[in-house]
């Protein structure tokens, strides 16, 4: 079926109800060649195969017996050889009686290797001590620097605190205390701050109100500012500007 | 009306063991039970003598798929039996795993001696395996050479060929002292019972 081309496959898939829009997925079907669409398992055995029983292969009994004999023989040998190998390994492994026996050659080699290891250890120790001394020196320097830095920071902090105290002392002259509280209240009552003022685009301030709260009419006294000192009310675009509207 | 048996051919014919033992007096201790499978396999009578019975509760329905085989209510039973296979006694055995299979049949008391061919309460002779396996065999050629070389290096080689001590994968009758092994475990395919299978093989 697969050799017949994608058309047949597509038709088959649609007829099985697996994919109702087979034409849309023709490219996908082409890619998934190895996946042959199969019947769902729930359908069960086909009706045409209901009453057909596959015949069992009818071989001569001695053939089965012979195959059985050869297999058993093979398994016996495999078991024996693997057991032999395990025992051999145990015999020559570390911790066995053979490994416990030592000769003079072994002892010589052992002593030689020990001296060699000692020599190496000394070499390495010298290098290590040198490195450790350098490291210790650097560490000491670092600690000294840290101490100096800490001292500097402490002095700076003290200076800041002293400055703060000095400022506070200066400010404390104007504090309201129980002695001068009546005076301060009177002052506050006398000095009325009126925020009812306005300002135009040029920064000209217009202060006061025409009618006071108590109903008195009062003309404000504006700060007289010269007209020339103020910026122009409507600024024309700067002549040197690169932005020009095209006619 | 003529009828035709349809279905997969099985070697089973009879009842589950509990169906037989549960309906007998004293749970059938001392009775003779046979299996159809062994009847098909051997000409000589094969049978069980029930010695002890222990009941097990039913396990419910069991379906085997595919093909759909409804085993019905499965109920096993534990039973200690004397096993006689192919007319020889094989020792005692606990039956339990296969007892739910409908393959057991009871021999009536009158026919017991006729079927078993021994007197009531007696057992046939014990089974003796005719195949005697050797305790040692030859090594494979390459392994043998390696071992000889190794022995030479160690200085333990005496000129005798080393032999592989056999460890059998299945329980077999191993040759004791004074017994001559009957099974050929030398290198190669061994001694075959049916030489016709090798008749057309040509040596090149």
Per-residue pLDDT of A38-52, as tens digits, reads: 888 888 888 888 888
Q: Do residues B167 and B194 lie in contact, with contact meaning Cβ atoms separated by under 8 Å?
A: no
Domain count for chain A: 3
Contact between A84 and B164 using a beta-carbon 8 Å cutoff: yes
Residue B72 near chain A (CB below 8 Å): no
pLDDT of residue A3: 46
What is the ipTM metric for this complex? 0.77
B63 phi and psi angles, rounded to 5 deg:
-115, 135
pLDDT of residue A22: 47
In the structure, what pLDDT confidence band is assigned to residue A148 with cuts at 50, 70 and 90? very high
Q: How many residues does chain A have?
A: 247
Q: Do residues B32 and B48 lie in contact, with contact meaning Cβ atoms separated by under 8 Å?
A: yes
Tell me if A156 is assigned to some domain: no
Tokens encoding A39: 């019947």
pLDDT of residue B154: 85
Tell me if A127 is assigned to some domain: no
Those residues with Cβ within 8 angstroms of residue A70's Cβ, 6 or more apart along the chain or in another chain:
B189, B190
Tell me if A56 is assigned to some domain: no
Contact between A79 and B197 using a beta-carbon 8 Å cutoff: no
pLDDT of residue A16: 54
| DSSP code per residue over A11-22 | HHHHHHTS-TTT
Those residues with Cβ within 8 angstroms of residue B169's Cβ, 6 or more apart along the chain or in another chain:
A72, A75, A76, A78, A79
pLDDT of residue A151: 98
Predicted TM-score (pTM) of the model is 0.51
- Which pLDDT tens digit goes with each residue over B151-183? 999 888 998 999 999 999 999 999 999 999 999
Q: What percent of chain A has pLDDT over 70?
A: 72
Provide mean pLDDT across the span B92-106: 93
Tell me if A86 is assigned to some domain: yes
Q: Do residues B59 and B76 lie in contact, with contact meaning Cβ atoms separated by under 8 Å?
A: yes
Tell me if A132 is assigned to some domain: no
Tokens encoding A78: 């495999």
- Which pLDDT tens digit goes with each residue over A104-121? 888 899 999 999 999 999
In the structure, what pLDDT confidence band is assigned to residue B145 with cuts at 50, 70 and 90? very high
Does residue A146 or residue A34 have the better pLDDT? A146
Residue span of the structural domain in which A6 resides: 1-34
pLDDT of residue A178: 93
Tell me if A205 is assigned to some domain: yes
Peptide bond into B67 cis (omega under 30): yes
Does residue A30 or residue B23 have the better pLDDT? B23
**Among all chains, which residue has been given the structure tokens 């017949």?**
A4
Give CA–CA dist A18/A4, Å, rounded.
19
Give CA–CA dist A34/B95, Å, rounded.
49
User: Cα separations (Å) of A10 from A3, A33, A38, A57, A150?
Assistant: 13, 12, 13, 38, 83
pLDDT of residue B52: 96
pLDDT of residue B34: 96
B121 phi and psi angles, rounded to 5 deg:
90, -5
Tell me if A104 is assigned to some domain: no
Closest residue to B169, CB basis, from A53, A65, A76: A76
**DSSP assigned state of A231:** P
pLDDT of residue A29: 47
Tell me if A146 is assigned to some domain: no
Residues of A with Cβ-Cβ distance to B196 under 8 angstroms? 62
């Amino acid at each position: 079926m697969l050799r017949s081309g994608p058309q047949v496959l597509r038709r088959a898939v649609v007829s099985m109800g697996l994919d109702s829009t087979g034409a849309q997925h023709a490219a996908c079907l082409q890619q998934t060649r190895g996946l042959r669409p199969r019947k769902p398992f729930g359908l069960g055995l086909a009706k045409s195969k209901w009453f057909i029983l596959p015949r069992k292969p009818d071989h001569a009994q001695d053939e089965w017996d012979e195959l059985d004999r050869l297999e058993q023989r093979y398994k016996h040998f495999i078991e024996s050889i693997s057991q032999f190998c395990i025992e051999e390994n145990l015999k020559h492994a570390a911790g066995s009686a053979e490994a416990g026996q030592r000769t003079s050659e072994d002892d010589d080699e052992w002593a030689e290797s020990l001296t060699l290891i000692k020599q190496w250890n000394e070499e390495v120790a010298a290098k290590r001590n040198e490195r450790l001394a350098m490291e210790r020196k650097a560490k000491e320097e670092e600690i000294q620097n840290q101490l100096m830095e800490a001292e500097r920071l402490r002095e700076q902090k003290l200076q800041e605190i002293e400055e703060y105290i000095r400022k506070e002392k200066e400010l404390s002259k104007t504090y309201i205390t129980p002695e001068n509280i009546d005076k301060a209240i009177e002052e506050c009552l006398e000095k009325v701050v009126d925020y009812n003022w306005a300002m135009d685009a040029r920064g000209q301030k217009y202060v006061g109100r025409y009618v006071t709260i108590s109903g008195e009419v009062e003309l404000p006294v504006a700060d007289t500012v010269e007209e020339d000192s103020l910026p122009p009310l409507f600024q024309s675009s700067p002549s040197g500007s690169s932005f020009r509207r095209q006619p | 009306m003529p009828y035709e048996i349809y279905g997969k051919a099985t070697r089973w014919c009879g009842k589950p063991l509990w169906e037989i033992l549960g309906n007998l007096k004293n749970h059938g201790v001392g009775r003779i039970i046979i299996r159809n499978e062994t009847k098909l396999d051997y000409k000589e009578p094969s049978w069980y003598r029930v010695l002890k019975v222990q009941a097990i509760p039913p396990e419910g329905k069991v379906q085997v798929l595919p093909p759909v085989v409804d085993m019905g209510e499965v109920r096993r039973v534990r039973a200690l039996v004397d096993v006689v296979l192919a007319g020889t006694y094989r020792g005692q055995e606990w039956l339990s795993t296969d007892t739910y299979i409908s393959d057991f049949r009871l021999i009536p008391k009158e026919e017991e001696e006729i079927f078993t061919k021994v007197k009531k309460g007696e057992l046939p002779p014990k089974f003796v395996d005719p195949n005697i396996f050797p305790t040692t065999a030859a090594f494979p050629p390459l392994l043998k050479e390696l071992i000889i070389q190794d022995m030479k290096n160690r200085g333990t080689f005496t000129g005798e060929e080393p032999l592989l001590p056999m460890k059998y994968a299945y329980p077999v009758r191993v040759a004791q002292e004074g017994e001559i092994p009957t099974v050929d475990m030398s290198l190669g395919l061994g001694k075959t019972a049916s030489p016709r299978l090798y008749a057309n093989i040509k040596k090149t």
